[in-house]
Amino acid sequence: MADNYSGRDYDKMPEYWDKRYARGLENLSKPVYQVIKEEDVPMYTRDGVRLMVDIYRPDAPAGERFPGLVAYSSYGKSVQTLDRAPLQFKTVLMDHTIEAGDVEYYVQCGYVVCIPDARGVGKSEGQWDGLYGRQEAEDCCDVIEWLAEQPWCTGNIGMIGISYFSILQPFVAALQPPHLKAIMMCEVLDSLYHHNYVGGAFFDRSFLYNHFCPANNQMSWSERHYTEEELKEKVERRLQDPDVKASALLTRVLSCWPPRHQSYFFDIILHNCDDDFWFERTLTNFVDKIKIPMYLGSEYYDRGRFTQGPFYVFNHCDPSIPRKVLCPESHDDLFLPHRALTLEYLRWYDYWLKGVDTGIMDEPPIKLKVEATGKYRYEHEWPLARTQWKKLYLRAGGRMDFTPGEGEGPDTLVFRSPLTEQPVYPREVPGLSWSTNPLPEDTEVTGPLTLYLSAALNTADAQFNILLNDVDEQGSRQYITSGSLRASHRLTGFEKEQPWAPRHDHSRSVPLVPGEINQFVLEIMTISRCFKKGHRIEIVLKNICNTEFNFITFIPPLETTQYDIYHTGAHPSYLLLPVIPESPEENWLQPEAR
């Protein structure tokens, strides 16, 4: 791509705007103001804690007022407007945290942007207790209400920023601060537990928040909520878990007393079941309290809970709320600072905070980029009503087919622990794979995927990690997404009996009987993708979710694990695919020619 230093391409109509629904674009706010930055402005929370915020506002005569946009995170306000080109998220970790968006542009268009240092972070007082907790949401409400009273603010407030800045927004909205009028997210997590323990299997990326969040004072939720004896007992028990004993990182964090090293990660490791810690950080518990317009977005992620989130909220919130969904890109395409959606944010907030109508609410509510087509499409419901739910059966010889086999298998994966068994282990993590024959035609898969696996294990517990790949004619694999399950977290049923919405009991582990064949149902993260004619859809079963043995994001076991995967009439195994037949032509977005 062309090296565009600023990443700003605001003169052209974006590819996610449809000319049929764009009207009055000449009324969209234009970048006419100079920017004033007021650094280190103090404000006080309801409990008297002083937070430091940075204010970026339009240089305008006294008396002129503007709507406010709050960008709230624990990443530190000082790095949100660092002067650098947008870097691809995946390539340079250090830039992960410049996520408030194009602050300067919003101000030039006549908005005030307020970026606080969260409590206990950067220059703010108080004590930090990690991500997306009740304390943080309340503090953000206080910032919103304070901002609304400022002399240069109209009192109409929205929120901006991606990732952390987005995920927090619905929690804040659920507390209903009076001056918060609309929110817009790029990344939504319906369940933080499922993000850190995908299907109950630990995914330890959260240790990085120790890097990203410059806390000057921190304490874990657990230390606040349990007595010392209670907490010590819980820690001692968790330290005995095999997955903790195998890990230097987990052992180190859990062993600290008092637990002030990576206090947020401490909470995450300690609470390996969906329990009281997760409750206040789980959006599903509060989604019905949101009463303001929401624009829900997410990239297509390959791991975690991101892509599910917007669709969950879309379907479970108060149906009378105006809302939209946008999935604009694969997270591999994500660049930070994030400027790709600036104009969409502007159009949304121009409508809800300034009353400038450019047709954004005329569009059908859901807008998806269908990967591998380069095009966006409108939809009205989720999953799509015209979905053909097809079963791709696991077959012998590593194949998958829409017709089931008989008398085939089982297929066996023996995963030797890299920690005890292998003197020299292979560079590639071993796995079992199944793939379709080359597809006879372009096949669109849009929606949640679900893997039904009949399996026996040689142990009382194990992790299933499934990777989904798109394999082209030359055999090159593109890794698309994944799903995981901790085998001992039992299936409890399906939401509304929908076979693509399994529910598990993550509050406890129920050991399996080694050798017994059980059916396991894994959620695989939502995609929207056209698998091209001649390509193959492939799934790979592994114990740890990596292509290579170099960065272990799931903890490998200390013992050898054997998986026997059955696919017979009595013990079927299949991938439930949401296949989308032809889409009406008018559903496809018609952007202006670029």
Partner 1 sequence: MKIERNRHIALSDGVRLKADVYRPDGEEPVPALVGWSAFGKEVQAVGRGRKPLKLGQCMDDLSIEISGIDFWVEHGYAVVLVNPRGISTSEGVWRGLYSEQDQKDCAAAVEWAAWQDWCSRKVGMLGCGTAGRIQPMVAALQPPHLKAIMPIDLVDDLYAECYPGGALSNYYLPFTSTIPMINAMSDAEAEMDWETLLAAMKESLKDPAVQSDPYLYRTMDTVPPRHFPWLVDIILHNKPGEFWEKRSTQNKLKDIKIPMYCATLCYEFGRSTFGAIRAFLDPDCTAPRKLMLLGHPVDRHTPFEEPNGEMLRWYDHWLKGVENGIMDEPPVKLYVTGENKVRTEETFPPKGMHFKSLYFQGEGKLSFQGPKGETPEELYHEPPIYKSQFSRNLPAVKYATQPMEEDMELSGPVSVTLYSAVDQDDAIFVVKLWDHRPDGTRLLLSDGYLKASLRGLTAQSKPGEPVHDVFHPLEVAQGEIYEYVIGMNPVCHVFKAGHRLEVELKACDAESYSFTDFVTIPRLFSSGLTSGVLPGTKFTRFQFYHDAAHPAHLLLPIVPAAPADRWTDWSGGEAHG
Q: Which residues contact partner 1 by CB under 8 A? A: 1, 3-5, 7, 75-76, 78-79, 82-88, 90-95, 97-98, 121-123, 210-211, 214-217, 245-249, 251-253, 255-261, 335, 418-424, 548-553, 558
Neighbours of 284 (CB within 10 A): 14
Q: Quick one: 441 or 548, whose CB is closer to partner 1?
A: 548
DSSP code of residue 285: G
| Residue 555 CB, nearest approach to partner 1 (Å) | 10
Neighbours of 58 (CB within 10 A): 22
| Residue 263 CB, nearest approach to partner 1 (Å) | 9
- Among 305, 300, 309, which Cα is nearest to 332's? 300
How far is it, in rounded angstroms, from Cα 529 to Cα 90?
Answer: 20
| Residue 259 CB, nearest approach to partner 1 (Å) | 8
Provide the residue type at 329 as one letter.
E
| Residue 172 CB, nearest approach to partner 1 (Å) | 23
Neighbours of 440 (CB within 10 A): 9
| Residue 3 CB, nearest approach to partner 1 (Å) | 5
| 228-239 and 248-255 helices, crossing angle to 10° | 160
Q: Quick one: 154 or 465, whose CB is closer to partner 1?
A: 465
Residues β-bridged to residue 471: 477, 536
Helix (H, G, I), strand (E, B) or coil at 551: coil
Q: Quick one: 196 or 247, whose CB is closer to partner 1?
A: 247
What is the phi/psi pair of residue 147, to 5°? -60, -40
Q: Which two tokens stand for residue 26?
A: 């000449």
Ranges of H-type helices in 220-283: 221-225, 228-239, 242-245, 248-255, 263-270, 276-279
Q: Quick one: 104 or 421, whose CB is closer to partner 1?
A: 421
Longest dimension (CA), the chain: 81
Q: Quick one: 84 or 532, whose CB is closer to partner 1?
A: 84
| Residue 42 CB, nearest approach to partner 1 (Å) | 12
Helix (H, G, I), strand (E, B) or coil at 2: coil
Q: Which two tokens stand for residue 41?
A: 């402005």
Q: Quick one: 49 or 419, whose CB is closer to partner 1?
A: 419
| Residue 1 CB, nearest approach to partner 1 (Å) | 7
| Residue 252 CB, nearest approach to partner 1 (Å) | 4
| Residue with token string 């090159």 | 476
Q: Which two tokens stand for residue 314?
A: 């879309």
Angle at CA 436, nearest 5°, toward 433 and 441? 150
How far is it, in rounded angstroms, from Cα 43 to Cα 585?
Answer: 52
Q: Quick one: 303 or 323, whose CB is closer to partner 1?
A: 303
Neighbours of 585 (CB within 10 A): 7
Q: Quick one: 248 or 570, whose CB is closer to partner 1?
A: 248
Q: Quick one: 320 or 550, whose CB is closer to partner 1?
A: 550
| Residue 272 CB, nearest approach to partner 1 (Å) | 18
Q: Quick one: 121 or 451, whose CB is closer to partner 1?
A: 121
Q: Which two tokens stand for residue 310?
A: 């917007």
Q: Quick one: 1 or 62, whose CB is closer to partner 1?
A: 1
Q: Quick one: 218 or 509, whose CB is closer to partner 1?
A: 218
What is the phi/psi pair of residue 427, to 5°? -60, -40
Q: Quick one: 258 or 514, whose CB is closer to partner 1?
A: 258
| Residue 300 CB, nearest approach to partner 1 (Å) | 17
What is the phi/psi pair of residue 172, to 5°? -65, -45
Ranges of H-type helices in 276-386: 276-279, 308-316, 342-354
| Residue 405 CB, nearest approach to partner 1 (Å) | 37
Q: Quick one: 26 or 548, whose CB is closer to partner 1?
A: 548
Q: Which residues does 465 contact at the CB level (< 8 Å), separation at least 6?
A: 201, 482, 483, 484, 541, 542, 543, 544, 545, 554
| Residue 462 CB, nearest approach to partner 1 (Å) | 18
The DSSP annotation for 6-34 comes to S---TTSPPTT--TTT---GGGS----PP
| 248-255 and 263-270 helices, crossing angle to 10° | 110
| Residue 312 CB, nearest approach to partner 1 (Å) | 26
Helix (H, G, I), strand (E, B) or coil at 227: coil
| Residue 556 CB, nearest approach to partner 1 (Å) | 8
Q: Quick one: 32 or 93, whose CB is closer to partner 1?
A: 93
How far is it, in rounded angstroms, from Cα 512 to Cα 462?
Answer: 9
How far is it, in rounded angstroms, from Cα 252 to Cα 229?
Answer: 20
| Residue 150 CB, nearest approach to partner 1 (Å) | 23
Residues β-bridged to residue 300: 330
Residues β-bridged to residue 331: none
Provide the residue type at 375 as one letter.
K
